[in-house]
Amino acid sequence: MEAEKILEFFFPNHCPICDRALLPGERICKACAKIPRKVKPPFCEKCGKHVKEAGSSFCFDCRRIPRTFDRGYSLYEYASVHDSVFAYKTLGRPEYGRYYGRKMAEAYASFIRQTNADAIIPIPLHKDRLRTRGYNQAAILAKEISDYTKVPLLENFLIRPNRTSNQKKLGRGQRQNNMKKAFHIAKNDVKLRTVIIVDDIYTTGSTIGAAAAVLRSVGVEHIYFLTLATGRGYL
């Protein structure tokens, strides 16, 4: 622990909100810790988004679209961490993910225990994007959750052999088409009954849904997901 603090003194972590260099042991500024807004109940019983329609158990999207996953949750409203997530992906700040992954683990530890999951599986990046970015942002979140909950991490179980377009720039139909055949199973020599998929953002559910469909095809019975943030989607 002392060696870690010495390392942080020379190579400090940065606040995931304002990017200020932090003191050893710090993970976020005290003032900035109040900025991320958690998704408020009532939650959609499928995707975990806030349900605005009175008396409904499901969000507008999940009432219309068949889901290949069982249930999921997102910790923050995307609008409140938009700039932070963008920086996490583009400015080489993996410590942002370590902070956010721990917050996700703390928030959903009880839910994770209830699932009796066999493994935590991060959404993979295509090898070209991984080479450019230097790390998989979903894998960093997943590792923190795995370390905290002791649920095994299977980082290379799911792979992304085809490079897809940036989902952020696409509409609903385009997102779904973009993710068709995006994922493959690397090696089906591990039998899994229950898994938790981890990603950074949930918007329309196209990415999580495509990954879940592939996992279903190899016999996974129960599929849940956790993401750092959720957006509004396309209604």
Number of DSSP helices (H) and strands (E) in the chain, helices first = 8, 6
Strands (E), 138-221: 158-159, 184-185, 194-202
pLDDT tens for residues 83-126? 999 999 988 999 999 999 999 999 999 999 999 999 999 999 99
User: How high is the pLDDT of residue 180?
Assistant: 57
Residue 74 CA, distance from chain mean position = 8
**Distance between CA atoms of residues 10 and 3, nearest Å:** 11
- The domains found in the chain, sorted by start residue, are 36-230 (3.40.50)
Q: pLDDT 10s digit of each residue in the chain, 235 long? A: 454 555 565 578 899 999 999 988 889 999 999 999 999 999 999 999 999 887 889 999 999 999 999 999 999 999 999 999 999 998 899 999 999 999 999 999 999 999 999 999 999 999 998 999 999 999 999 999 999 999 999 999 999 987 654 545 544 554 455 555 779 998 777 889 999 999 999 999 999 999 999 999 999 999 999 999 998 654 3
* Greatest alpha-carbon span in the chain: 54
| Closest to 100 in 3D by CA, of 70, 127, 139 | 139
Which amino acid is it at 8? E
The three-state secondary structure class of 182 is coil
Which amino acid is it at 11? F
User: How high is the pLDDT of residue 167?
Assistant: 44
